[in-house]
Amino acid sequence: MYEMRLAVPVRLLCTKPGKVVGNEFNKLIDHYSKFNPSPLSIKQFLDFGERANPAESFAFLRKEVPVRLANIMKEIELLPPQLLKMPSVRLVTSWYQRSFMEIAEFDKLHKGTPTDSVLSDFTDTLTRVRNRHNTVVQTMAEGVLELKQQHKSDVSSEHTIQYFLDRFYMSRISIRMLINQHTSLFGVQERPAGNGRQVGVIDPHCDITSVCLDAYENAKFLCDQYYLTSPNMILKCIPEEPRIRIVYVPSHLYHILFELLKNAMRAVVEHHGTEADLPDLRVLIVEGKEDITIKLSDLGGGIPRSASDLLFQYMYSTAPEPSSTNSAPLAGYGYGLPISRLYAKYLHGDLTVTSMEGYGTDAHVFIKAISKDSHEKLPIFNKTSSKHYNMVIGSNDWSSPISGERKILSSGIIEKIRSIPCA
Contacts with ligand ATP by CB under 6 A lie at: 259, 263-264, 267, 298, 300, 303, 311, 316-319, 331-337, 361, 422-423
In the chain, the amino acid numbered 385 is S
Taking the mean position of all CA atoms in its chain, how far away is CA 365? 15
User: What sign results for the dihedral spanned by CA atoms 245, 248, 252, 256?
Assistant: negative
| Total of chain residues touching Mg ion, rule CB under 5 A | 3
Q: Mind telling me the catalytic residues?
A: 255, 259, 262-263
From the list 80-88, 191-199, 261-269, 292-300, the region that binds Mg ion by CB under 5 A is: 261-269
Closest CB to Mg ion among residues 125, 297: 297
Residue closest to Mg ion when measured from CB atoms: 336
Residue 211, contacted partner among ligand ATP, Mg ion, none, CB below 5-8 A by kind: none
Closest CB to ligand ATP among residues 28, 165: 165
Residue 230, contacted partner among ligand ATP, Mg ion, none, CB below 5-8 A by kind: none
Residue 349, contacted partner among Mg ion, ligand ATP, none, CB below 5-8 A by kind: none
In the chain, helix, strand, coil percent, each to 5?
50, 15, 35
Distance CA 242, CA 66 (A): 43
From the list 27-35, 144-152, 194-202, 262-270, the region that binds Mg ion by CB under 5 A is: 262-270
- Helix pair angle (42-51, 54-76), 10° resolution: 140
Closest CB to Mg ion among residues 182, 255: 255
Q: What angle do CA 372, 374, 376 make, to 5 degrees?
A: 120
Closest CB to Mg ion among residues 200, 336: 336
Closest CB to Mg ion among residues 143, 334: 334
Query: How near is the Cβ of 185 to ligand ATP at its closest, in Å?
Result: 31
Instruction: Decide if 389 contacts 151 (C-beta within 8 A).
Output: no
Closest CB to Mg ion among residues 336, 412: 336
Residue closest to ligand ATP when measured from CB atoms: 336
Residue 316, contacted partner among ligand ATP, Mg ion, none, CB below 5-8 A by kind: ligand ATP
Query: How near is the Cβ of 336 to Mg ion at its closest, in Å?
Result: 3
Answer for which of 200, 300, 336, 379 binds Mg ion (CB under 5 A) is: 336
Query: How near is the Cβ of 338 to ligand ATP at its closest, in Å?
Result: 6
Closest CB to ligand ATP among residues 211, 299: 299
Query: How near is the Cβ of 350 to Mg ion at its closest, in Å?
Result: 18
Residue 48, contacted partner among ligand ATP, Mg ion, none, CB below 5-8 A by kind: none
Query: How near is the Cβ of 357 to Mg ion at its closest, in Å?
Result: 18
Answer for which of 160, 171, 198, 263 binds Mg ion (CB under 5 A) is: 263
Query: How near is the Cβ of 76 to ligand ATP at its closest, in Å?
Result: 22
Residue 317, contacted partner among ligand ATP, Mg ion, none, CB below 5-8 A by kind: ligand ATP
Binding site for Mg ion (CB under 5 A): 263, 331, 336
